[in-house]
Structure 1
């Protein structure tokens, strides 16, 4: 069991893709012979309108094989569509175009051509094959581009939605960061206001204390200041008084 799982994972890891042009050079697949292993993919690119990629058997050329893949008739829009088929094993795969007379005209190819059954033998037998009505049902592969599978469209829509959501989320986060940054200065200013007020108040108080003398200091200064020395007329009157007192004292002694 584990061996088969390992081999499946290994084959997927080393899977290759083979590109095939449909109608690029007339009623042909280019290349018309390829070799592929299980897990590889065949990507058919529609170069001109009204072609199909339809699987058949070697023994019944130009007839849709039951359970085989089919792209239906593809009308090429401005953007060229593709039809992708995943190879399941190494068995031969016969492919033809189901548009009227295309298979009978040699529009066929083979994957893993076996010995004894060549593409040329298939094309030779196809010339006499009855025309089969083309089956419009897409099966066994993925039709991409315009008119592609709904799975591809859904996947694209989901991817677009996720991208839009991611962009919206990034825009919202940016707005939140910008809002936080714009509010930070206001908070910082608000927080620093009390400190500034306290500092200013303290400086005012200190300045007031240093530059404005108190009432007690003024009183002390007044008391300790000596009286002014008399000058002019006051000084002359004092001299006369002293002279008079001296004369009176001298008279008493006599």
Structure 2
């Protein structure tokens, strides 16, 4: 009896501390290249913490919730890490991380990188799925094919900490010297693809661990337009 109780307690403790670590970005010499999450397709039960580790250097990536049918645009009401810039050198004193907790494991959770320079990271393969079905029409392979076929400009609107099926309780952190996290208000976009008209909002940035504001979790000092940020922050140009 005591042995059974002990096993049950151990199982509960294990479930309570379940964690999956996902590496965000990689190096040009890595198999799969720069634009990838590793792993990019996995299962997680309710209460599991998904730690997104922004380790790819150089890198400028996001973890943004999307949908199966629209893989390269932010999902309304979805989670969004904001852009996390990692320099090529020097090596950072700590690796920025973002923790998502699974709140509904009954449906797939789709995500992507919304960075658009030097080209769309999403259509280059930087997408991921949690609890995607292994069979049927909505598999990870089908989601990947949808992303690769995407020809438009990914919407740069900003989500928040709380998403659909998963949520974060804090922004990306720590943010050591050399790294930066950028967040922005939703963009106004009309049209699609090369003909899209983009109205850039003010961008906010921070170089130390921020505190979330009510509603979206984004905080910091306003610095420049989103377009200027994208041009400068990816100035090293990822291959």
TM-score by length of 1: 0.51
Q: Is the 8 A contact 1:11 1:39 kept in 2?
A: no
- Secondary structure (helix, strand or coil) at the match of 1:124 reads helix
Task: Choose 85-94 or 132-141, whichever is displaced more.
Answer: 132-141
How far the C-alpha of 1:135 sits from its partner, in A, is: 3.3
Q: Is the 8 A contact 1:12 1:39 kept in 2?
A: no
Higher strand share: 2
Give the paired residue count.
Answer: 142
Structure 2: 5+ residue stretches without partners:
1-10, 163-167, 176-207, 213-239
Q: Is the 8 A contact 1:21 1:47 kept in 2?
A: yes
Structure 1: 5+ residue stretches without partners:
1-9, 152-254
- Rounded Cα–Cα distance in structure 2 between residues aligned with 1:112 and 1:92: 5
- Rounded Cα–Cα distance in structure 2 between residues aligned with 1:137 and 1:118: 24
1:70-110, Cα deviation, whole Å (9 max, x unpaired): 00110126222011111011121111000011001111111
- The residue aligned with 2:66 is 56
Larger Rg: 1
TM-score by length of 2: 0.54
The question of 1:87 aligning with 2:102 is answered: yes
- Secondary structure (helix, strand or coil) at the match of 2:95 reads coil
How far the C-alpha of 1:137 sits from its partner, in A, is: 5.4
How far the C-alpha of 1:128 sits from its partner, in A, is: 3.1
- The residue aligned with 1:145 is 174
- The residue aligned with 1:110 is 129
Q: Please give the residue correspondences for 1:173-184 in structure 2 after superposition, counting only pairs within 5 Å.
A: none
- The residue aligned with 1:75 is 85
What is the aligned counterpart of 2:45 among 34, 37, 42?
A: 37
How far the C-alpha of 1:53 sits from its partner, in A, is: 0.3
How far the C-alpha of 1:58 sits from its partner, in A, is: 0.4
- Rounded Cα–Cα distance in structure 2 between residues aligned with 1:11 and 1:94: 27
- Secondary structure (helix, strand or coil) at the match of 1:126 reads helix
- Say what the alpha-carbon RMSD is for the aligned residues: 2.1
Q: Please give the residue correspondences for 1:180-219 in structure 2 after superposition, counting only pairs within 5 Å.
A: none
How far the C-alpha of 1:57 sits from its partner, in A, is: 0.8
- Rounded Cα–Cα distance in structure 1 between residues aligned with 2:143 and 2:74: 14
How far the C-alpha of 1:56 sits from its partner, in A, is: 0.6
